[in-house]
Structure 1
Amino acid sequence: MNGSIPTNSDTPSKGKLQINVTSEINHFPVSGANIRISYTGIPDSTIEEVTTDSSGQSETLELDAPPVEYSLDVTSEEQPYSEYTLLITAPGFETISIAGTEILADVTAIQNIQMRPSDSSETGEERFVIPAHTLYGIYPEKIPEAEIKPVNETGEIVLSRVVVPEYIVVHDGSPRDSTAQNYYVKYKDYIKNVASSEIYATWPANTIRANVLAIMSFTLNRVYTEWYRNQGFDFTITSSTAFDHKWIPERNIYDTISVIVDELFASYLSRPNVRQPILTQYCDGRRVQCPNWMTQWGSKSLGDQGYSPIEILRYYYGADMYINTAEAISGIPSSWPGYNLEIGSSGNKVRQLQEQLNVISDAYPALPKLTADGIYGPATAEAVRKFQEVFGLPETGITDYSTWYKISEIYVGVSRIAELT
């Protein structure tokens, strides 16, 4: 496979890889899982072997990657990422192999893996092959649609307000492909997966923000208008680039993208006097041009020039586009208080936070137990900092917007067996 093994040079570039392993059934971490890493295309050439800790995590590994310039230069024809194969085994679980984990220079790839408990002594092996990144491979171009959907037709089901769903159903194929599998995917995980599949994580942060906003707005338009359900389908969105976005089962995501999705996940794009999120379509801007839509390489160039996310979006979609926030987030026990919780804070929101962290610590023993007294002291700050370390958030010990909702998400995951597996 071209580009599987990075080109040899005196000082090869490096990317990082961090692996998180949980049980598919109860979302608890799987400690002691063995992970063997080899170059894709040479599966017997184990180059690293690691074991997960009590949080189900590997150490962060440094792996060879092509020069970062390959992912930053619109004219480069070189594959900008190296590809690795992971073989994951753990007692009591089915073996998983993932071929094609993509390592970019200078960023951390995060490979989240859910293992299926094995119900017999004969363990099977689940195999996943990650196809090429959309900016490197060849994919069908988006079939243009109206960016605002008619919602007054008879029999049309439309939500009365914009709600960020907890899960969406992704049809892994084109809409009429009845053989394609449907997947229940957490909304935030879906957005992180699509952004990691469609833009490079090495790009400027504001370029990533603009693209994430476009992906989320498009997705929430599909949710809000119940676009596919109104056509008789039982899914929210597809993984076909001709219709929607590229979503890839079991692909890795990147730290630079994950942190931005956690920061923005309740946002979408609006136009004046239009209730629904705008169906923000885009193309790559290199192989395909798309007037009046954002181009991904063009947004990268504007980010390089110092444009803000909204300036990038308005450059393509017009001056009346603005960023809105969803009225509700489903599946969340309680909404963010509207201000950071930190040392000196007190009250019911702090107590609720402490109680949720205590439930999470049953699954993640690296987190210390707290006295749920409603007072945010040094012990609570340290528990929050440890949570942030385990779940890849900036380690501040302060419960900001991203941390509050990540604690809620993990709490919901470990405190109930997901109804949607």
Structure 2
Amino acid sequence: MQQTTDTGMLRINVESALRSTPVEDAVIDISYSGDPENVIEEVRTDSSGRTETLSLEAPPLEYSLTPGEAQPYSEYTFSVSAEGYEKITVSGSEILSGQLSLQTIRLRPIEERETPDVVVIPAHTLYGNYPPKIAEAEVKPVSQTGEIVLSRVVVPEFVVVHDGSPRDTTATDYYVRYKDYIKNVASSEIYSTWPQAALRANILAIMSFTLNRVYTEWYRNKGFNFTITSSTAFDHKWIYGRNIYESISEVVDEIFDAYLSRPNVKQPILTQYCDGNRVICPNWMSQWGSKNLADQGYSDIEILRYYYGDSMYINTAEEVSGIPSSYPGYALRIGSSGDAVRQIQEQLNAISNNYPLIPKIAVDGIFGPATENAVKVFQSVFGLTQDGIVGRRTWYRIQDIYVAVTRIAELYP
């Protein structure tokens, strides 16, 4: 176990892998990954499948703020069991100083198996050794037949992640919700302790790169059946089963439909980058360099233009797939009324079928105290600020959860 003088926070969510429904009363034994047999804490999930927020030891904050040899995060192992489900062990979940880590664990219905599932989370890319990115053109040619498939930039509901290099036929393909994919990659490639401007600049680069792969159908045009890979030589580092960080999740929820563009270029820019410490990449963004610029007061767009040039702009996708309705452009609160309020009321009632802590409310299109209370409970269950206001982040979280639970109901009436 490395030096731990600070603390980080952890909240675990346990759900059914088959139905994505919460698993109540799951037992979670927590240990250091270097000493997995020595349980330091045991917790259980509530009716929403979540644990309380826990405090765990972490290395000093400064380890994650400058490049160095010391590991900046502590690693924990979780052994999870619940009645009717197979046991699972998650090893290597990363806790950073002062950061809230969110760990989702999916349990499979029980089968006749002698050994539990094991998920091993490898080292963070800023600490471990990974292949550097193979350079590509930032804008793909459009003269080749079939090169561009989509007519406009659309945020997809899912991306298909090939968990290996493109020609590794043994690698598994995973269907991952777009926002979950971006949160996973950002949590794997930058430290959530960095300033907001650095987080936003890096997340914008990750999203623009990903949407370029989506827009150009890059791998499908090469005969593959996936959107993107988890190989750092070709794409980003996505890690199956890893934890994400609340500070990164908040940024992604706020700007998930953004991407980077240049004048007279229709496609999102393939924004490549490197760590800037072990690997130097002229004309690409340096991850550590972006953190240093943020420390000096640079904004996200100023950081991006420092590396990619003054012709780089932040744009917004024309469409977000897989949601019933886009954010109306204003927050819903006490006194609001109309179709948007009615929609939220209907969706909260549907969600409450799977999350019974959320109270049923009248669908009358009037945002009164009962609706405000239901929103607050929803925000509590899903880790949002409990202000009872349906702003952009709460709106889209309601859309995501509503789609998930209604699809479950269709599959399992």
Determine if the TM-score, normalized by the shorter chain, exceeds 0.5.
Answer: yes
The answer to whether residue 95 in structure 2 is matched with residue 103 in structure 1 is: yes
**Deviation larger for 394-403 or 283-292:** 394-403
- Equivalents in 2 of 1:130, 1:418: separation in Å? 32
Equivalent residue, structure 2, for 1:70: 63
Aligned counterpart in structure 2 of residue 401 of structure 1, from 388, 392, 397? 392
1:383 counterpart letter in structure 2: A
Query: Per the alignment, in what secondary structure is the counterpart of residue 170 of structure 1?
Result: strand
Once the two structures are superposed, residues 335-382 of structure 1 have per-residue CA deviations (whole angstroms, 9 ceiling, x without a partner) of 111111111110111001000001111111111111111001122112
Structure 1 position 155, deviation (Å): 3.1
Structure 1 position 386, deviation (Å): 1.7
Equivalent residue, structure 2, for 1:16: 9
Q: Runs of 4 or more off by more than 4 Å in structure 1?
A: none
The answer on whether the counterparts of 1:25 and 1:417 sit within 8 Å (CA) in structure 2 is no
Aligned counterpart in structure 2 of residue 79 of structure 1, from 71, 75, 89? 71
Once the two structures are superposed, residues 96-146 of structure 1 have per-residue CA deviations (whole angstroms, 9 ceiling, x without a partner) of 1111000000001100111111245x5751111111000000100000000
The answer on whether the counterparts of 2:2 and 2:71 sit within 8 Å (CA) in structure 1 is no
- Equivalents in 1 of 2:338, 2:221: separation in Å? 45
Query: Per the alignment, in what secondary structure is the counterpart of residue 416 of structure 1?
Result: helix
Aligned counterpart in structure 1 of residue 121 of structure 2, from 125, 130, 139? 130
**Deviation larger for 384-393 or 296-305:** 384-393
The answer on whether the counterparts of 2:161 and 2:227 sit within 8 Å (CA) in structure 1 is yes
- Equivalents in 2 of 1:156, 1:201: separation in Å? 36
- Equivalents in 1 of 2:210, 2:317: separation in Å? 13
Query: Per the alignment, in what secondary structure is the counterpart of residue 131 of structure 2?
Result: coil
Query: Per the alignment, in what secondary structure is the counterpart of residue 221 of structure 1?
Result: helix
Structure 1 position 417, deviation (Å): 2.8
2:3 counterpart letter in structure 1: T
CA 418–246 in structure 1, closer or farther in 2 if over 3 Å, else same = farther
Structure 1 position 156, deviation (Å): 2.8
- Equivalents in 1 of 2:228, 2:109: separation in Å? 29
Q: Structure 1-normalised TM-score?
A: 0.95
Equivalent residue, structure 2, for 1:61: 54
The answer to whether residue 186 in structure 2 is matched with residue 190 in structure 1 is: no
The answer to whether residue 321 in structure 2 is matched with residue 330 in structure 1 is: yes
Which blocks of at least 5 consecutive residues in structure 2 are unaligned?
none
The answer on whether the counterparts of 1:167 and 1:185 sit within 8 Å (CA) in structure 2 is yes
The residue correspondences of 1:243-322 to structure 2 (distance < 5 A) are 243-322=234-313
The answer on whether the counterparts of 1:93 and 1:123 sit within 8 Å (CA) in structure 2 is no
- Equivalents in 2 of 1:21, 1:173: separation in Å? 26
The answer on whether the counterparts of 1:151 and 1:158 sit within 8 Å (CA) in structure 2 is no
The answer on whether the counterparts of 1:99 and 1:128 sit within 8 Å (CA) in structure 2 is yes
Equivalent residue, structure 2, for 1:7: 3
Equivalent residue, structure 1, for 2:357: 366
- Equivalents in 2 of 1:419, 1:231: separation in Å? 35
Query: Per the alignment, in what secondary structure is the counterpart of residue 260 of structure 2?
Result: strand
**Deviation larger for 151-160 or 14-23:** 151-160
Structure 1 position 152, deviation (Å): 2.5
Aligned counterpart in structure 2 of residue 386 of structure 1, from 377, 380, 386? 377
- Equivalents in 2 of 1:156, 1:340: separation in Å? 40
The answer to whether residue 202 in structure 2 is matched with residue 211 in structure 1 is: yes
- Equivalents in 2 of 1:418, 1:221: separation in Å? 34
- Equivalents in 2 of 1:276, 1:418: separation in Å? 37
1:89 counterpart letter in structure 2: S
The answer to whether residue 104 in structure 2 is matched with residue 112 in structure 1 is: yes
- Equivalents in 2 of 1:348, 1:113: separation in Å? 36
Equivalent residue, structure 2, for 1:34: 27
Query: Per the alignment, in what secondary structure is the counterpart of residue 323 of structure 1?
Result: strand
CA 418–154 in structure 1, closer or farther in 2 if over 3 Å, else same = farther
1:408 counterpart letter in structure 2: Q
Once the two structures are superposed, residues 364-419 of structure 1 have per-residue CA deviations (whole angstroms, 9 ceiling, x without a partner) of 11111111110011221121122112212222211111111110000111111399
The answer on whether the counterparts of 1:26 and 1:416 sit within 8 Å (CA) in structure 2 is no
Aligned counterpart in structure 2 of residue 234 of structure 1, from 188, 202, 225? 225
Q: Structure 2-normalised TM-score?
A: 0.97
Equivalent residue, structure 2, for 1:148: 139
Which blocks of at least 5 consecutive residues in structure 1 are unaligned?
none
**Deviation larger for 166-175 or 380-389:** 380-389
- Equivalents in 2 of 1:15, 1:374: separation in Å? 41
Structure 1 position 168, deviation (Å): 0.5
Structure 1 position 6, deviation (Å): 3.7
Identity of aligned residues (%): 67
- Equivalents in 2 of 1:284, 1:155: separation in Å? 34
RMSD value over aligned CA atoms? Answer: 1.4
- Equivalents in 1 of 2:374, 2:109: separation in Å? 30
- Equivalents in 1 of 2:3, 2:251: separation in Å? 31
- Equivalents in 1 of 2:50, 2:120: separation in Å? 22
The answer on whether the counterparts of 1:25 and 1:418 sit within 8 Å (CA) in structure 2 is no
Structure 1 position 41, deviation (Å): 2.2
Once the two structures are superposed, residues 287-321 of structure 1 have per-residue CA deviations (whole angstroms, 9 ceiling, x without a partner) of 01111111000000011111111111111111111
Equivalent residue, structure 1, for 2:82: 90
- Equivalents in 1 of 2:360, 2:409: separation in Å? 24
- Equivalents in 2 of 1:20, 1:151: separation in Å? 44
- Equivalents in 1 of 2:212, 2:389: separation in Å? 33
